[in-house]
Amino acid sequence: MITEQLNNVIEKYNIEKTENIIYGTNIPMPNAVVPTPWKTYVRFKESEFYFFYFDEQGIKIYLRNGEGYIEIPWSEVIDFKISHVFIIGKMSIKTKDDIYKFQINRFVVGCPWIKKNTKYLESVNYFYHK
């Protein structure tokens, strides 16, 4: 399913460098905390899934369903960090106006392209050169 959605995004936006794409989600923030005498319940905002495209100009973040994207040029990025913990990583993008935080999947069953693309992007430091 993820590969099908990726192929739809690639086709819709005419993406040529498919090795520059990885998959991930936002890091949902709590939107409600309900304490009870027995337990505290925390509700989170919904997770949204994305394809992240990296190149020399910046990062494009495509919605998984292909219904839009945002572009963050490297010239606007003040700080960019990716940390890895086994099969999941965290990505933080700081601009002068916002901080974006995402969880990056380094491996998904049935999607070998994710692992291959992650290795490639790590080798070129995600095209980030500050």
Name which residue leads in pLDDT, 129 or 40: 129
d(CA 83, CA 104): 9
Average pLDDT, the chain: 87
d(CA 129, CA 46): 33
Q: Is the distance from CB of 57 to CB of 73 less than 8 angstroms?
A: yes
> Which pLDDT belongs to residue 42?
61
> Which pLDDT belongs to residue 84?
80
Name which residue leads in pLDDT, 38 or 101: 101
Task: Summarize the confidence of residues 38-63 as an average pLDDT.
Answer: 84
With a cut of 90, say whether residue 89 has pLDDT above it: no
Burial class of residue 86 in the structure, from the number of CB atoms within 10 Å of its CB (0-12 exposed, 13-18 middle, 19+ buried)? exposed
> Which pLDDT belongs to residue 52?
95
Domains and CATH numbers, the chain: 2-122 (2.30.29.30)
pLDDT band at 29 (very low <50, low <70, confident <90, very high): low
d(CA 97, CA 104): 22
